[in-house]
Amino acid sequence: MPKMYDTPLLDELEKGPWPSFVKEIKKCAAKNDMAADELGLLEKSYKTKIGYWKHGGIVGVRGYGGGVIGRYCSIPEEFPGVAHFHTVRINQPSAWFYTTDALRTICDIWDKYGSGLTNFHGSTGDMILLGTRTEALEDIFAELSSRGWDLGGSGSAMRTPSCCVGPARCEWANIDTLELCYQLTQEFQDELHRPAWPYKFKIKIAGCACDCVAAIARADCSIIGTWKGDIKINQDEVRNYVKNGFDIQKWVIDMCPTECMSWDGSTLTIDNANCNRCMHCISKMTKALKPGDEKGATICIGSKAPIVVGALLSWVIVPFIKVEKPYDEIKDLVRKMTEWWDENGKPRERIGEVIERVGMRSFLEYIGVPPQPQQVKEPRRDPFWFFTEEDIEKIKAKEAEEKKTGVYKF
């Protein structure tokens, strides 16, 4: 029988309409010692307003360098059940689809070896099994892996890639987010399980500019589906929207960021050359508008949380890339990017920070992508920039040529 703690503060959080995490902990605490002590410890934190966990030690499974976050309580005398309370990250399937059978298998394993507590899901995307002891790790891993599951990433490694629901259930997916996510995860198994990089490297894949996995804000490598070609307009459906009270002028035409749309009362016109594919019109008139035909993705690099010189959003590196099986081009690109980072990065330096410190040119040259205006919001403002001797030679040669032809090439 697990220990029962008096939890007046946490009990408050059982009230109210939103599902209660306290109820969840209590469910487990009723039958599991670790969960019971987790509950007691948490109540103590609520009372004292401070946490009782220590810096994680290095724990894991044989041959892997990641996938488990070691966690020890700082007052194990008082809460022996959570003296060890490691979490196990399980690599989720693409877009978090499950069968109930699969979930039950995981629950059974976890009840056997762990606290019974989970996170569905962690904010990188993994299934998180919350709380077990060092001794149990090998068994848990054997049970999981023998049933087709593998650990997710942690430490200075590739982290578990994730993706939006995409073509599985979304009409706007320009790319097969699920398959790409699966393939990249498989491609980088070694990098995922054996931390060997300066710091973490995350991949997130969204099927369109709505970015339903927050790729551009939370992944070192953000892959976002897009298209070339004209937005497809079903004028009848447009008129239907209007007939049903949709204020097309106010809600679409006036909100289009590039001012490239117009509505004459019966026909919607889009100046596609000026559309920046923001998805506003398409998302607000889903029956009437569809993305153009040539599908692909934009690859952006660098986003991360603020520690320590400020949060980054990812930067456009490859404005357009085809996304087709077997995705060799994308795999190669990711490999080259991480190679460059690995060569240039200092410990605990994310790829975006290295690009900022070393310079975009070095990065682009290494990965073989030419400079393009799409990569910047605006060109540089201050009059300081570098030339290689070859740059200058090229310019001088061009000028000589211009002298001959009488035609300037700016």
Partner 1 sequence: MSVPQRRTDIGPPHYEQFLPPIIKKNYGNWSYYQQLAPGVMVHVAESGDKIYSVRVGSPRLLATDTIREICSIADKYCDGYLRFTSRNNIEFLVTDESKLNPLQDELKSKGYAIGGIGYRVSNPVHTQGWVHCHSACTDASGLVKSIMDELFPYFCEKELPNKVRLAVACCVNMCGAVHCSDIAVVAVHTKVPQVDAEAFKNMCELPTTIASCPTGAISPDPATKSVKIKAEKCMYCGNCFTVCPAIPIKDAERDGVAIVVGGKVGNLRSNPKFSKMVIPYISNEPPRWPKAIAAIKLILETYAKDARKFERVGEWIERIGWERFFQLTGIEFTYQHIDDFTFARETFRTAATFKW
393 touches partner 1 (CB under 8 A): no
Name the one range near ligand SF4 by CB under 6 A: 25-33, 82-90, 181-189, 268-276.
268-276
Task: List the structure tokens of 377.
Answer: 């919001």
| Residues ≥6 apart with Cβ < 8 Å to 403 | none
Contact 222, 216 (CB under 8 A): yes
Number of residues that bind partner 1 (CB under 8 A): 175
**What residues from 333 to 392 belong to the interface with partner 1 (CB under 8 A)?**
356, 359-361, 364, 371-387, 391-392
| Residues ≥6 apart with Cβ < 8 Å to 351 | 201, 220, 221, 301, 302, 337, 338, 341, 345
**What residues from 65 to 124 belong to the interface with ligand SF4 (CB under 6 A)?**
none
Helical (H) or strand (E) element with 394 = helix 389-405
> Closest approach of Cβ 155 to ligand SRM, in Å?
8
β-pairing, 203-206 vs 221-228, is parallel
**What residues from 271 to 290 belong to the interface with ligand SF4 (CB under 6 A)?**
275-282
**What residues from 383 to 402 belong to the interface with a second copy (CB under 8 A)?**
383-384
For residue 186, how far is the Cα from the chain centroid?
16
338 touches ligand SRM (CB under 6 A): no
How many of the other CB atoms lie within 10 Å of CB of 218?
A: 21
392 vs 57: CA distance, rounded Å: 53
**What residues from 287 to 306 belong to the interface with a second copy (CB under 8 A)?**
306
166 touches ligand SF4 (CB under 6 A): yes
Q: Which of 19, 257, 306, 406 forms a contact with ligand SF4 (CB under 6 A)? A: 257
166 vs 146: CA distance, rounded Å: 29
Pick the closer one to ligand SRM by CB: 114 or 152. Answer: 152
**What residues from 18 to 77 belong to the interface with partner 1 (CB under 8 A)?**
18-25, 27-28, 38, 42, 45-56, 61, 63-64, 71
309 touches partner 1 (CB under 8 A): yes
SS3 label, residue 297 = strand
290 vs 254: CA distance, rounded Å: 19
162 touches partner 1 (CB under 8 A): yes
Q: Which of 4, 196, 313, 397 forms a contact with partner 1 (CB under 8 A)? A: 313
> Closest approach of Cβ 113 to ligand SF4, in Å?
23
Burial of 133 (0-12, 13-18, 19+ CB in 10 A): middle
Binding site for a second copy (CB under 8 A): 306, 310-311, 381-384
Binding site for ligand SF4 (CB under 6 A): 164-166, 170, 172-173, 206-208, 210-212, 256-258, 260-261, 270, 275-282
